[in-house]
Amino acid sequence: MTFKNEYLSASRLKRFAQCPKSFDLHYVRGEPAAFNPATTFGSVLHSALERAYRVIVAEKITGRFPEDRLLAFFEEEWALASLSDFESFQDGVKILRDYVQAHALVEHEKILGIEQEFQFELEGFQVRGFIDRVDRLDAETVLITDYKSNRAIFTRVEVDQDLQLSIYAMAAQKLWPWAKTIRLSFCLLRHGIQMETSRNDEELGAARKYMVTLARASEQAAEFPARLNENCGWCDHRAQCPEYHRALLGKVENVCTDDQDLSAVAREREEVARLARILYARKEALEKILKRRLDEGGTLELGGVAYSLAKTVHLSYPPDTTLMLLHEFVGGEPEDLAAQLLVLDKGSVDDLVKKVAKQLTPAESRLLKVRLEAVAQKTYSPRFVAERVKTAEVAP
Ligand code: SF4
């Protein structure tokens, strides 16, 4: 069977590089992809932001971000998607509220593109895609933004070498040839962080070669081996993948029998580490299913294990009140105290209180703790608890 890529995109090429089997199932055989709640959640956020920015442009808004519209779009998109759990609904509302706080002011004139489509030719292949948002920062500068809803924060190397951003840089050069500077960014929605990067000609040349090599390899491949990786737990074809099912059984193929053979030690270590990541991801997915039932209330008792949700308290401290309170008890300048607290969370405040407790009497120390607790803002989140059920001992 001769396979020809209809077009190239970052996700298509990344899929081939990460796991040829997944590429085969998805693009060559066209197997239907399983529903993926994380990807669907990301698409809902994307659609809500896209619609809000389209309103900003259509209604020529310069000023406050239309938060109400954004949240209304989110609710509509949520209802259309097949999502149901309340936890991620709340997550979405919080993520978008935080986004508005960080992007409180908008200027419709700066927006160059929303879901900007592009297509260009690369050594006989067509490269296609959409860019989430493009802003014109000044007469020579374009900022490309790609929204990400990932839980993990990217490393600097990942951002600097990301193929998707390289493709966007190539597209931007064609779409806005007047731009002397093209800034590329991932907007990490869950973390309120914008990670920026750029690409020079040499890096883009290397990316083009890499893309063509991968594209040709995907068309010439005689076999598409499975490559187990840390994303298997979310792979949309894992149900059709025997290798993944074998991995869930936790069997190690390369067991090292000679501790002096460091290559064998490393080989087994890598295999165990990969299996541990896959099993951990599976454990999380299974807990999520149980949590959905527990969200409805009560506990579950299954197979001799009781499952419940316990409340976890997160404390955050209002900066001004907290610093004044610490100043009142331990003296010194609020600025100096602020410098000792990189972030105002429970860990850093506890550390500081422990440090200064030597200067205080036990009563003062207790009073400081009580007053800090009173000013702290509390948020609660559920924690999954699994406890083996104690069975009554049977008399011999
Ligand atoms: S589950 Fe893992 S190994 Fe199997 S197809 Fe998906 S990515 Fe590849």
For ligand 1, whether the C-beta of 226 sits within 6 Å is: yes
Share of residues in the chain with pLDDT > 90 (%):
52
**Within a domain: residue 187?**
yes
**Within a domain: residue 346?**
yes
Q: Which atom of ligand 1 is nearest to the CA of 226?
A: 3
Domain shared by 167 and 36, yes or no = yes
Q: In sequence order, what E strands does the chain have?
A: 62-64, 105-107, 111-122, 125-138, 141-148, 181-188, 193-197, 300-302, 305-316, 377-388
The residue from 191, 216, 241 where one domain ends is: 216
Domain shared by 65 and 181, yes or no = yes
Lowest mean pLDDT among 13-17, 45-49, 370-374: 370-374
User: Per residue in 231-266, pLDDT tens?
Assistant: 888 899 999 999 999 888 877 788 888 888 899 899
**Residues spanned by the domain of 84:** 10-216
Q: Which atom of ligand 1 is nearest to the CA of 241?
A: 4
Please state the rounded mean pLDDT for residues 47-75: 96
Domain shared by 212 and 316, yes or no = no
| Ligand 1 centroid from CA 127, angstroms | 25
Q: Which atom of ligand 1 is nearest to the CA of 278?
A: 2
**Within a domain: residue 137?**
yes
The token pair that represents 220 in the structure block: 């010439």
Domain shared by 23 and 155, yes or no = yes
**Within a domain: residue 251?**
no
Domain CATH number, residue 99? 3.90.320
Average pLDDT over all residues of the chain? 89
C-alpha separations of 71 from 90, 160, 382 in Å: 11, 32, 24
| Ligand 1 centroid from CA 23, angstroms | 9
The residue from 169, 198, 216 where one domain ends is: 216
In which band, very low, low, confident or very high, does the pLDDT at 140 lie, cut at 50, 70 and 90?
Answer: very high
Domain shared by 181 and 53, yes or no = yes
Q: Which atom of ligand 1 is nearest to the CA of 236?
A: 6
Domain shared by 30 and 144, yes or no = yes
In which band, very low, low, confident or very high, does the pLDDT at 220 lie, cut at 50, 70 and 90?
Answer: very high
User: Per residue in 284-297, pLDDT tens?
Assistant: 888 888 888 887 77
In the predicted structure, residue 269 carries a pLDDT above the cut 80: yes
Domain shared by 323 and 193, yes or no = no
| Ligand 1 centroid from CA 103, angstroms | 38
**Within a domain: residue 171?**
yes
Which of 31, 229, 248 has most ligand 1 atoms within 8 Å of CB, for mutation? 229
In the predicted structure, residue 160 carries a pLDDT above the cut 60: yes
In which band, very low, low, confident or very high, does the pLDDT at 27 lie, cut at 50, 70 and 90?
Answer: very high
Please state the rounded mean pLDDT for residues 304-313: 84
Q: Which residues of 361-383 are buried (b: 16+ CB within 10 A; e: fewer)?
A: eeeebeebeebbeeebeeeeeee
DSSP assignment string, 98-154: HHHHHT-EEEGGGEEEEEEEEEEEETTEEEEEEEEEEEEEETTEEEEEEEE--SSPP
In which band, very low, low, confident or very high, does the pLDDT at 1 lie, cut at 50, 70 and 90?
Answer: low
In the predicted structure, residue 130 carries a pLDDT above the cut 90: yes
User: Per residue in 316-346, pLDDT tens?
Assistant: 777 778 778 878 887 777 777 777 765 667 7
In the predicted structure, residue 103 carries a pLDDT above the cut 90: yes
What pLDDT does residue 396 have?
Answer: 47
**Within a domain: residue 275?**
no
**Within a domain: residue 146?**
yes
For ligand 1, whether the C-beta of 16 sits within 6 Å is: no
Q: How far is CA 99 from the centre of its chain?
A: 15
Tally the domains of the chain. 2
In the predicted structure, residue 18 carries a pLDDT above the cut 90: yes
Domain shared by 21 and 162, yes or no = yes
The residue from 163, 194, 216 where one domain ends is: 216
Please state the rounded mean pLDDT for residues 273-280: 87
Domain shared by 196 and 320, yes or no = no
Report how far residue 114's alpha carbon sits from residue 99's, in angstroms, rounded to the nearest whole number: 17
Domain shared by 77 and 188, yes or no = yes
What pLDDT does residue 391 have?
Answer: 62
For ligand 1, whether the C-beta of 22 sits within 6 Å is: yes
In which band, very low, low, confident or very high, does the pLDDT at 158 lie, cut at 50, 70 and 90?
Answer: very high
For ligand 1, whether the C-beta of 237 sits within 6 Å is: yes
Q: Which atom of ligand 1 is nearest to the CA of 22?
A: 5
Please state the rounded mean pLDDT for residues 263-270: 90
| Ligand 1 centroid from CA 237, angstroms | 7
In which band, very low, low, confident or very high, does the pLDDT at 4 lie, cut at 50, 70 and 90?
Answer: very high
What pLDDT does residue 377 have?
Answer: 75
**Within a domain: residue 391?**
no
Domain shared by 201 and 318, yes or no = no
What pLDDT does residue 205 have?
Answer: 97
Domain shared by 317 and 210, yes or no = no
Q: Is the pTM of this model over 0.75?
A: no
For ligand 1, whether the C-beta of 8 sits within 6 Å is: no
